[in-house]
Amino acid sequence: MQSCVKTALGKVEMADIPIPTPGQGEIVLKTTLTTVCGSDMHFLDEIPTEILMFLYPSLAKRLPSLPGLPMGHEGVGTVHAVGEGVTRFQPGERVIASFDIGCGKCLQCHTGDYTICTGGGEVLFGTESEYYLVPFADINATQVPDEVSDEQALLATDIMSTGFAAIERAEMKTGDSVAIFAQGPVGLCATAGARARGAGLVITVESVPERIEASKKFGANV
């Protein structure tokens, strides 16, 4: 399959690599839509692959046989193959996966902190490939309803969930006043999240005129 891989700091190229084979609890998705996140640029330009391999041992097991790090962690796909032990997915289903992979079993995952999973969690990699692997699929992936487009579903993999998570972590209550600084993609999703959770007043702080106008469409009062 074709994959966009990081071969060195600041350098990517298209490479022909094997289609992943799912192991225990894993699924492989055939990519239908993906995008580039700001975090991809940090992974590409600032973080050596050796550090990522140290942080995510399961990633280190896959990389030695590849010409580089498969890029991308935001994607929509259809189930291509299902590994042993997976109970929630069947081939052909349209699916998205979280960019933040947790094991679902450790204390951190049980309290909702998948970011600091101690049971083998990692960042999802490889959505900028024709196929990509999703670890711990029953915990980290979900089917996409027929009425939701690929473009809409893609937002839920990172941008929307990150913005909404900020509102949840702030423990905002119905009627609260909320100030959100910066209205880029994640900030706009935080604005939408505040409005959806019943904020009384949503104040956004932004200097770019187009983003100011967009924030009002997403629910900002000021």
Mean pLDDT of 136-142: 97
Rounded CA separation 198/35 (Å): 30
Asked if 62 and 137 sit in the same domain, the reply is yes
Q: 170 by DSSP, 3-state: which? A: coil
Q: Which residues partner with 89 through β-bridges?
A: none
Q: Would you say residue 56 lies in a domain? A: yes
Q: Which residues partner with 125 through β-bridges?
A: none
Q: Would you say residue 222 lies in a domain? A: no
Asked if 125 and 174 sit in the same domain, the reply is no
Mean pLDDT of 163-170: 94
Asked if 51 and 70 sit in the same domain, the reply is yes
pLDDT tens digits along 118-131: 998 889 999 999 99
Asked if 150 and 135 sit in the same domain, the reply is yes
Rounded CA separation 142/157 (Å): 10
The residue among 157, 180, 200 that closes a domain is 157
Quick check: 71 and 128 in contact, CB under 8 A?
yes
Q: What is the CATH number of the domain that holds 200?
A: 3.40.50.720
Q: Which residues partner with 134 through β-bridges?
A: 27
The residue among 135, 157, 179 that closes a domain is 157
Q: Would you say residue 142 lies in a domain? A: yes
Asked if 104 and 76 sit in the same domain, the reply is yes
Q: Which domain holds residue 48?
A: 2-157
Start-to-end C-alpha separation, the chain: 48
The radius of gyration of the chain from alpha carbons, rounded to an integer in Å, stands at: 18
The residue among 106, 138, 157 that closes a domain is 157
Asked if 110 and 177 sit in the same domain, the reply is no
pLDDT band at 193 (very low <50, low <70, confident <90, very high): very high
The count of domains in the chain is 2
Asked if 125 and 189 sit in the same domain, the reply is no
Close Cβ partners of 15 (under 8 Å, ≥ 6 residues apart): 2, 3, 5, 7, 66, 67, 68
Q: Is the pLDDT of residue 112 over 90?
A: no
Q: Would you say residue 112 lies in a domain? A: yes
Q: What is the CATH number of the domain that holds 28?
A: 3.90.180.10
pLDDT tens digits along 40-59: 999 999 999 999 888 887 78
